[in-house]
Structure 1
Amino acid sequence: MGIEASQVFRIAISGYYGFRNSGDEAVLKSILLALDECGQEAGIRIQPIVLSIDPEWTSGMYGVEAVHRMQPKEVISLLRASDGLLSGGGSLLQDATSAKTIPYYAGIIKLAQWLGKPTFIYSQGVGPVNRGWMNPLIRSAMKASRYVSVRDKESAELLDRIGVPLNRIEVVPDPVMGLPLPEQEASGADRHSHEPVAGGREPVIGISLRFWRKDRADLDRIAGALLELLGTRDVQLRFLPFHTPEDVEAAAYVIGKLGASGAGKTDIREAGDDPQRMLHEVSQCDVLLGMRLHALIYAANMKVPLLGISYDPKIDQFLGRLQLKPIGTTESLDSAAFVSHVTALIDNASGWVQSKNDIIDQLKQESRQPARQIVNYLRELKR
């Protein structure tokens, strides 16, 4: 609406994008929406260009430009032509999944800085960092960035320990706390209204699993707890794969363990590649049991009572922001305690929502703070 060409900013966005992991794609979608809205409010336009492993798919999904994240010439050309680099969100600066992760993401940040571009760190989860030799690379990338935000205080404390001053770090919620439902579903967001389940309708328990232990003892324990729940209460178990095909296989494994008890009581809902469709699926559950971090974030976003299984400190950190603790871990799960908690949440969903409502609303509001800060910085460039 009359925004001049001088008020258009090309921003490169680096993250774990194009791999079709629902959580990371939700992060990207949330960032794109927040930048667009905050830009409009400030009277400027952000033109995002995403570094993706599958640029064609990313462009088609989000309607944005994209370049291949592993093609150095394309990346350098993009950064040269950009007005800055946004790195995030997600767990980009950690070495638990691979020793190559930190050098890649920090390297992209440093490359942008060497080309004279401002860099912005967007609600990242930092750590664990088990290889001390990576700390100087992280410290250098962070200290030279114009804006640094992390999604939990533990990430901020880790950065502080390696030499990034705390007064330069803003702790904000995960971007996905601000992700809205698809427009066509928004009007029906409160299907259950968090009231006691009406007669005749079985409560829907959403379940997000992933493979973690090689011996699958963690999934065996979850199956045992679900069997006890099925023996106690009439419920529907709805498995929600956030990363396909692995999570579909994990769901099928647990369903197989349920045997005849699960007949007619289980289904696997694949929402496709659009993260907002999975958000809608989560919104239709009465309770959610999640191993995946973003399954728990989706549930909190939609104010669906949730229980977390911890496999990584990031699960505990997010639950802590809601004043919750995991119901179990990949090492232990008490079936009786699980059944008791699920039953209580089914019977008093409104009480849970009431107790968490203010916290969740604040997280949702604060989730766009990085976008506001970045837009304000860019707007000042033109003054």
Structure 2
Amino acid sequence: MRVAAAGCYSINHPGEEAEIAAAAASLRALSPRIEITVFSQNTRQLSQLPGVRAVNRWNPFAVLYTLIKSDLVFSCGGNSLKDTEGLGNLLSHLLTIYTARLIGKPVVCYAQGVGPLNSYWGRRLVRFVGDRLDLITVRNQASKDKLLKIGVERPPIVVTADPVFSLNPAQFDKEVGHSLMAQIRTAASVEEDAPPFELIARTEEGKIAISVPVDTAGTGEEEGEAKGEKKPLLGVVLQELEGDCEYKRAIASAADKLVREGWEILLLPFKYPADIQICQEVSWIMQEPSLQYREKPTLEQLFCLFGEVDLLLGMRLPALIMASLMRKPCIGVAINEKIDKFLEITEQPKAVNLEDLDADNLYELITSTYKDKKEIATHIDQVLIQLRQQSWESAGLTLSFLYSRFPHKRLDATRTAGWGERHKAGRTIHR
């Protein structure tokens, strides 16, 4: 059974990689013999995902051949149905879907994110193509409301959840996270090029090493290390915003206060290499030392690093989703309504508006959230149960629709799949 996944996977973004990896894993767990082909510009990277092959989305002959050979085409991705960056990607995505309909292929939206749709033509195009789909599953109520508002009425619209929530956090090795953090701390100490008891001060112009021995006799640092006490670790995922630098100063100032109280600050480049520069800038603004991960993290490494932090301060929605999956409380900086909606769905602390971002208020929010982190993590566990069920519902509805159209596909899959594969899939679903 062949399935083609049409989504805007043209940029190097771990959030999109996590989405397609989770969707492929869910579909293969329910139907082990399924073949999934993704239209992407980064064919080499996506082809490394288990059970996924990639085709260049800008090669019309390869795309058309894949559509003809497929039994089902599904539209996916949180960034596919929006026009904030122009109509180019939206038009390309909808053209692929409409071509599949013209050649008689069933098309399903798989846990689709919808919006923002700010332009008149963007809304018209989505309505035109949306009414010709067979089934639509969306990842939140806001996406369904947008589709209904622009006039999509014919196909059934079901609210499920983001595909990432179908992943099992236990599959990510904790030792990988421990090893990465050890490497990051070692690299930071080597970069400072200073003895263990030398203070490092930072200014906007650069770093200044102050050779002042630190008296740890009365600070309790040696005693804390002897007892094996772990410093609180705040993960920070930032995003460059044009024409605005005040939020960098506010975050750096709040981070300095935390470091002086014994915290560690980890600046993570979620989108590589775009986030490297802003992480470096915040590090320069800070007067206290911070940890940075300067290499390109793999998807597994990102999940493992999110598992190491105590809290995550994030400006990117996929990072907040991945950290929540790892049971970590999140503090969002609301640069768009999606971050507000996600934190509201998971019932986590309300996001800080970018316009109201203040160092003192941010510091208070971080410390209060840390005090309640156990209660928040317990509550996230309860919310994740429902989100995981809804996420699996996307895969179940997609395959149920396909089998209703082609009953022989289900029989063929049952016959060709060995007992071991069916048993393995059953255990995966049970977990």
Q: TM-score, normalised by structure 2?
A: 0.78
CA 1:91–1:184: 2 relative to 1, 3 Å: closer
After superposition, where does 1:175-324 map in structure 2 within 5 Å?
175-181=163-169, 183=171, 185=173, 200-231=229-260, 233-259=261-287, 261=288, 263=289, 265-268=290-293, 270=295, 272-273=297-298, 275-324=299-348
- In the aligned structure 2, how far is the partner of 1:324 from the partner of 1:345? 9
Shift of 1:352: 1.2
- In the aligned structure 1, how far is the partner of 2:166 from the partner of 2:374? 22
Fraction of identical pairs, as percent: 28
Shift of 1:171: 1.4
SS in 1 for 2:282: helix
Match of 1:64 in 2: 52
Instruction: Work out the number of aligned pairs and report it.
Output: 361
Q: Which moved more, 1:342-351 or 1:246-255?
A: 342-351
* Residue among 6, 31, 37 paired with 2:29: 37
Shift of 1:147: 1.5
- In the aligned structure 2, how far is the partner of 1:18 from the partner of 1:180? 26
Amino acid at match of 1:26: A
Q: What are the Cα deviations for residues 125-178 of structure 1, in whole angstroms up to 9, with x where unaligned? A: 211111112222211222221211112211111110111139821112111122
User: Are 1:368 and 2:360 an aligned pair?
Assistant: no
Contact 1:271 1:278 in 2 (8 A): no
Match of 1:169 in 2: 157
Shift of 1:278: 0.8
RMSD: 2.5
Contact 1:180 1:276 in 2 (8 A): no
After superposition, where does 1:90-169 map in structure 2 within 5 Å?
90-165=78-153, 168-169=156-157
Contact 2:22 2:167 in 1 (8 A): yes
- In the aligned structure 2, how far is the partner of 1:331 from the partner of 1:312? 12
- In the aligned structure 1, how far is the partner of 2:377 from the partner of 2:16? 26
CA 1:345–1:366: 2 relative to 1, 3 Å: same
SS in 2 for 1:368: helix
Amino acid at match of 2:291: T
- In the aligned structure 2, how far is the partner of 1:230 from the partner of 1:253? 17
Match of 2:13 in 1: 21
CA 1:123–1:185: 2 relative to 1, 3 Å: same
Contact 2:132 2:154 in 1 (8 A): no
Q: TM-score, normalised by structure 1?
A: 0.87
SS in 1 for 2:76: strand
SS in 1 for 2:355: coil
Contact 1:287 1:306 in 2 (8 A): yes
- In the aligned structure 2, how far is the partner of 1:186 from the partner of 1:79? 40
- In the aligned structure 1, how far is the partner of 2:53 from the partner of 2:47? 6
Match of 2:352 in 1: 328
- In the aligned structure 2, how far is the partner of 1:24 from the partner of 1:370? 17
Q: Which moved more, 1:204-213 or 1:61-70?
A: 61-70
Contact 1:18 1:57 in 2 (8 A): no
Match of 2:429 in 1: none
SS in 2 for 1:352: helix
CA 1:90–1:360: 2 relative to 1, 3 Å: same
Amino acid at match of 1:17: Y
Amino acid at match of 2:250: R
Shift of 1:75: 0.8
CA 1:300–1:284: 2 relative to 1, 3 Å: same
Query: Structure 1, unaligned stretches of length 5 or more?
Result: 1-8, 191-196
